[in-house]
Amino acid sequence: MHKFGVYKATTLAQRNEFQLLQEYYYELAENYFVQKDFAHNPQMRGYALSSILSPGDIAVTHTAYWLYTGKISPPLKQKYYIARQDARHKAAGIRRRFQSQDLQIIGGQQITSLERTALDLLLLDLETGMDYLWELLPVGTSIKQIYTYSKNRKGLNNMQIINQVLAQLANKY
C-alpha cells in the first residue's frame, strides 16, 4: 500500500527494512510506516493519518498527540487511539460524544482539540500525561487554557486531582 508517503509492511522482511531505516520513517501501529519527509508538520501528518484511518474516525489521545507534536508515544506503536460519534465501524474505536469545540480538522483528519487531547492524556495516566502535557504546550496551548477547559468537564474519574494539579501549575506558569 502506498498513499501519501505511507507504507504498510506486509512481510517480516519489509518490517525489518523499515525499522532499519527508522531515521526516515515514523513507525505506527498495524505495521504502517510514514515517511518523515511527508510528515514534518501537523497538516501533513493529518493527511498521512487520514489515508490510514476510516472516514469518520476521530484521532484522540496518543494519535492526536502525534499529529500535534510529531512525537510517537509507545502506545501508538501498539494501536491507533480513535473514537467515533456514529455507530459505524464499532470495532474501530470507542463511541463518544464530543462538543463542537472539542473537534477540529487537520489535514483532512478529525482530531480532538489541544486542550481535550491534553486532558485525555492526563486522564489516562497522570504521571505520563504530565510529560505529554509539556510537549503539547509549545504547539499552541497553555496550562491556563487546559485548566479552564478541565473545570468545565464534570463527572470524570480523577478530575478533582487533575484540576488541583492544573490549578497549581496555572498559578506558576
Torsion of CA 42, 95, 28, 16, to 10 degrees: -160
Any bridge partners for residue 95, and if so which? 84
Identify which has the larger pLDDT, 31 or 97: 31
The pLDDT of residue 156: 75
Residue range(s) defining the domain that contains residue 99: 2-172
pLDDT category of residue 1 using cuts at 50, 70 and 90:
very low
The pLDDT of residue 94: 61
Number of structural domains, the chain?
A: 1
What grid cell was written down for 150?
478541565
Measure Cα distances from 145 to 60, 70, 74, 166, 167 in Å: 18, 22, 26, 10, 11
Using DSSP bridges, classify how beta strands 32-35 and 25-27 pair: parallel, antiparallel or unpaired.
antiparallel
The whole-chain average pLDDT of the chain stands at 89
Asked whether the whole model's pTM tops 0.85, one would answer yes
Taking residues 27-41, what's their average pLDDT?
92
